Chains A and B, each alone.
Chain A
Amino acid sequence: MLKLSALMASVCALTAASSVLAADNKELNIYNWSDYIYPEAVSEFEQKTGIKVNYDVYDSNEVLEAKLMTGSSGYDLVIPTGAFLERQIQAGIYTTIDSSKLSNYGNLDSTLLEKVARHDANNAHSVPWAWGTIGLGYNVEMIKARLGDMPADTLDLIFDPKISAKLQDCGIGILDSPAEVMSIALNYAGLDPNSESKSDLGKAEALMKANRDNYRYFHSSQYISDLANGEICVALGYNGDILQSQSRAEEAGQGVEVTYAIPKEGTLVWFDLMAIPADAPHKDAAYQFINFVLEPKTAAGISNYVYYAVPNTAAEPLLNEDVIGNPGIYPSAEVKAKLFTQQAHSAKFDRILNRAWSNVKTGR
């Protein structure tokens, strides 16, 4: 084993040496969420700076973290979600951000930066990319047929067993994300969404279990197409994904109408944050890209295309009417006040949380 690790160390040293060599080249390795930027953005940046961009995508924070935690990922810029970034900062894998290198830093929405600081003290390691909420996507017609004129902007749809039972036949999809969904359940039950108490967790688990038989599945992306073609009628999911599903349903023209609602009980707000790994070979190029994203034109382009909100005040005049005017993307101040963030948990609590989640999922 000792010999083996020596061998592995030398291989790592070799790759590190080669990336140091590559640092002179004008290159940038970005690892971002899939479908999270407008298609022309990267080539615009390349033309402007002459830096060649290698743009890879992932579809879950877990995949990103697995790569980052093995070390020497080779990426210069990654975009994890707040609670994940919080943990990763503890592991010391990010370099601190020098905001004086970013001439467009002043475009950022300062009230949102304050909220982000709950994940990243003083915004020292990150610059926000976009933000959004977790809420309810539903099929207007199917819900009306089963619930009548009851307003659908409530978590009763998925957490009140009497109501969820009525929706069981048309299908309820729940995000497969233990920490996020449990914090929404805790908040619904009137408890602290970031509680690490076992008895609180037990109450949230019981709440989920009481409704479990009425859920079709737990999945983090399947609801996008399922909502659009009427396979399911309610999903607890990310706002941008549900709005994407809405436009897909419109395009398909099958008469399916999907709507997104931020539940009146309040829900979770998340931030995806740009961060530079400490071992990034092209840090300067990464700074240039962050600055490019903070330009009002780029930020507005992203928001108009991906249907997520950007925390960029200067970009707001450039946003399309159906984006800035959509309360599902840019909610009113009153709704914003009810949003909470989900903080990273201790490793010990993570384990019991995940066990509770497995029990809910498998219906044990």
Chain B
Amino acid sequence: MKYKRMTLFAGHYGSGKTNIALNYALWLRRQGLAVTVADLDIVNPYFRTKDGADILARQGIGLIASPFANSNVDLPALPGEVYALVEDRSIHGVIDVGGDDRGALALGRYVPALREENDYDMLFVVNKARPLTRRVDDALEVFREIESACALPFTGIVNNTNLGPATTAELVIDSVAYAEEIGERTGLPVKMTCAMESLIPQLQNKVSDLFPISVMQLYYMEKEGTSIGKINL
């Protein structure tokens, strides 16, 4: 899979941007690159990129996140270090943009530098199982709202259709046509289809450009082996 110096994940909130950003950073790192993740989410109060801080640190991946993330400070402020990431061309950057147009607004200030360098992928993350973007038309509305909020055009589509732990191979296969229609109507390629690692064997020959992901978000499941504060890798 080809990659650019900067990769940005934007989309409808709850489409899985944070999780993909973390997994994508790990993938870039495995290619032997110096990687830093920046959390640009100024909308979400919980379940932030910072939840994956330990995993990133272990792999030698940098993390730029608001010092207020996961605290009681409800302040939509971004750290100055994000400029360093945008301007230091020796580092590969992954940017986790906040959800919807409201989240993408914060990206605007970095857009002149990104455009000038012109070495970025701006990826639109879609999940067909999210109720407000089930129809292609609704997903395209979010697509346009985000582009006009941050003034950075998308360059590709990421299909991340999932139902969390209830995701089946059929659901992923069924979503390919949906992602491709979004691709056709925007004139952009579907860069990848994400799926939990456990589903990859069932999808291998049926879905192209598969991107295996580990679920790294914290969640509160009753199943044995999962518990609060525990990150399943």
Chain B binds chain A: no
